[in-house]
Amino acid sequence: MVIEPALKRTSISYPTTPSELIDHAIEYSKTIKLPIDISVIHWTISRRATKRAACCKFSPGSPDILISLTWKAFQAYGWEKFKSIIRHELIHVWEYQTYGSTSHGSLFKEKAQQLDAPLHCDAFCSPRFYLICKNKDCQWKTIRHRASKTVTHPFHFYRCRKCGSPYTVEHVGTSIRWNTHLEYRRARKKIGIHW
């Protein structure tokens, strides 16, 4: 279990805006017992991300590190849970500054356990699409948040990850399904503003 010093007292005890979240994250990062150079970390907020609660970005040859925090994840988790996401990202910083690269390998897992940081984040947004294998014996189903090519062109390029069969795409909000790009275009037109 991680024992953390109290954050600097402010008039607001928990972040309520993206800029306050960054301020709290910076202050909180100073309390984590990792030998890292916090001065090279730049913080930003993502309002678009739907699958990752945060991420670290590194530029080879540069000491600068960018940590992007996802506003929707913070809103879903709350400050107490979101602190564990910050610890996760700081472990990436530590690995990068110490070894020049980072992953979710055994070293990361060991440090994550020491700091009570999750290896992966819990879902915080509802999916917009399901990909459902057409093979009745397979039972494979996964989610998508955006209309990527796996959603818009299901028949032409992609197959079920489990058995290799074609799959059907289902729009979660309307249960409308399609199997080809042409069917996708028709479905999108039919769904209209509920897309």
For residue 46, give the CATH number of its domain. Answer: 3.30.2010
pLDDT at 5: 41
CB crowding 141-178: b at 16 or more within 10 Å, else e:
eeebbeeeebbbebbeebebeeeeeebbbbbeeeebbb
Residues in the chain with pLDDT values less than 50:
1-12
Number of structural domains in the chain: 2
Q: Would residue 31 count as lying in a domain?
A: yes
Strand order in the sheet with 65-70: 41-46, 65-70, 54-58
Assess whether 28 and 69 both reside in one domain. Answer: yes
Tell me which residue of 45, 143, 37 sits closest to 93, measured CA to CA: 37
The confidence score (pLDDT) of residue 10 equals 44
- Domain span including residue 180: 129-194
- 105 and 30 share a domain? yes
pTM: 0.72
Q: Are residues 105 and 155 in the same domain?
A: no
Tokens of 69: 């925090």
Kindly report, residue by residue over 159-183, the tens digit of the pLDDT. Answer: 999 999 999 999 999 999 999 999 9
Same domain (yes/no): 154, 180: yes
Output the pLDDT for position 126.
Answer: 87
**φ and ψ at residue 85, rounded to 5 degrees:** -65, -40
pLDDT of residue 62: 87
Within a domain: 157 = yes
Say what the pLDDT of residue 9 is. Answer: 44
